[in-house]
Amino acid sequence: MRFTWDPDKSKANEKHHDLSFEEARALFSPGNDYLELFDETHSEDEDRFIAIGPVTRGLVLVVYTEREPDEFRIISARWATKREVQQYRAHMKGESR
């Protein structure tokens, strides 16, 4: 799997959220379980997805699109909110939302 992103947006994201896209892509590491949701609200021009799961420093939320079958383009990333953490934990326990 290949990851791409706008380098300027990654720098701005790191400054604003203390999270680079490089660090956020660790969410998609093999064996790492994450919650994936379709982002219907922001999918007018392209299908966008939301992934919530762990990286080394905590739980993150990553918005991305799939450009090709093996290419994910990261659009944004930030630390998960309390509500999103609860949503992820419910997913891990197999509970429905």
CB 34 within 8 A of CB 2: no
Q: How many CA atoms lie within 13 A of 63 on its CB side?
A: 15
As given in the structure block, the two tokens for residue 34 are: 């994450």
DSSP string, 40-76: GGG-SSS--EEEEEEETTEEEEEEEEEEETTEEEEEE
Question: What is the model's pTM?
Answer: 0.90
Tokens of 38: 């379709």
Q: Say what the pLDDT of residue 1 is.
A: 85
The pLDDT value recorded for residue 68 is 85
**Amino acid, res. 40:** E
CATH of the domain at 57: 3.10.450.530
Range of the domain at 60: 2-93
Nearest in space to 58 (alpha carbons), one of 94, 30, 36, 88: 88
Domains in the chain: how many in total? 1
Per-residue pLDDT tens digits for 44-97:
889 999 999 999 999 999 999 998 888 999 999 999 999 999 999 999 998 654
Residue 58: partners with Cβ closer than 8 Å, 6 or more residues away: 79, 80
What DSSP character marks residue 78?
A: E
Residue 3, token pair as written in the block: 């990851």
Q: Please tell me the predicted confidence (pLDDT) of residue 87.
A: 94
Give the residue with greater pLDDT, 16 vs 68: 16
